[in-house]
Amino acid sequence: KAGVTQTPRYLIKTRGQQVTLSCSPISGHRSVSWYQQTPGQGLQFLFEYFSETQRNKGNFPGRFSGRQFSNSRSEMNVSTLELGDSALYLCASSLFPGETQYFGPGTRLLVL
Amino acid sequence: AQSVTQLGSHVSVSEGALVLLRCNYSSSVPPYLFWYVQYPNQGLQLLLKYTTGATLVKGINGFEAEFKKSETSFHLTKPSAHMSDAAEYFCAVSDPNFGNEKLTFGTGTRLTIIP
């Protein structure tokens, strides 16, 4: 069974731009979570989706948003990019909320 | 709020030696506990997890961890280190207040294997 896939793997943007990251969960998994990983803050929870609904949200500004589609694929969007948004963005999927999360390879975003 | 403390941001062991990575958590209710490994430029791979039942949990690649409620610990061990074990290891807990849906991670321990 294929794992979690994330596209693109690498991205370079400039301040003020917006970016959209994509995540395809493991087949059959219906819950998708997003995490941000930075050297300074470590791994931080962004949000979680199930049945196209956001169930939980971490402590991030409104510039960070996401959505989930009927096929469980998810996207996250960051608007008005700041230098501090440079990070590895990890997507994780699980069968249902609360089940074990399996992570994708991440999208590395560099904001210049 | 839950928190996870990983003692030692860097640990070095000789090849063939015991690996011990420490993790302590704070939680008002028994959490689910996880160890993930991250190799350079990759995502997180699940090593093992504790939910309920037997407190000694065996994972992949010869790793195991023991849940000790009285010590609020979930240390990761491997009897004999291999060069391929060099990576960063993260301990995580799930938050019952969020239906175990949100993971809170420790700051990570980078494991170096000395030939």
Rounded to whole angstroms, the Cα distance separating A27 from B104 reads 25
Q: What local confidence, expressed as pLDDT, does residue B100 receive?
A: 77
Other beta carbons within 10 angstroms of residue A107's beta carbon come to 22
Q: Which residues lie below 8 Å from residue B46, measured CB to CB, with a gap of 6+?
A: A100, A101, A102, A103, B34, B35, B36, B59, B60
Q: Is B97 a residue whose pLDDT tops 80?
A: no
pLDDT higher at B95 or A6 = A6
When pLDDT is cut at 50, 70 and 90, the band that residue B73 belongs to is very high
A36 contact partners, CB below 8 Å, separation of at least 6: A43, A44, A46, A60, A87, A88, A89, A90
* Model pLDDT, residue B66: 95
User: Which chain B positions have a beta carbon within 8 Å of A33's beta carbon?
Assistant: 101-103
By CA distance, what is A34's nearest residue in B? B102
**Cross-chain residue pair B36–A103, CB shorter than 8 Å:** yes
- Between B84 and B54, name the one with better pLDDT: B84
CA distance B88 to B99: 27
Chain A neighbours among B 44-103 (CB < 8 Å)? 44-46, 49, 90, 92, 94, 98-103
Measured between alpha carbons, how far is residue B76 from residues A31, B9, B54, B58 in Å?
28, 14, 15, 10
**pLDDT confidence band for B41 (50 / 70 / 90):** confident
* Residue in B closest to A90 by C-alpha: B43
Question: Which of B42, B99, B108 is the closest to A98 by Cβ?
Answer: B99
Task: Verify whether the Cβ–Cβ distance A45 to B90 is below 8 Å.
Answer: no
According to the model, what pLDDT value does residue A94 have? 94
Q: Identify which of B43, B98, B108 has the shortest CB distance to residue A106.
A: B43
Q: Quick one: pLDDT band at residue B95, thresholds 50, 70, 90?
A: confident
Cβ-based neighbour number of residue B18 at 10 Å: 11
Read off the pLDDT of residues A48-104 as tens digits, 9 standing for 90 and up. 999 999 998 999 999 999 999 999 999 999 999 999 999 999 999 999 988 899 999
Show residues of chain B in contact with A9, CB under 8 Å.
none
**B3 and B59 in contact (C-beta within 8 Å)?**
no
Looking at the complex, does the CB of residue B5 fall below 8 Å from at least one CB of chain A? no
Between B95 and B56, where is the model more confident? B56
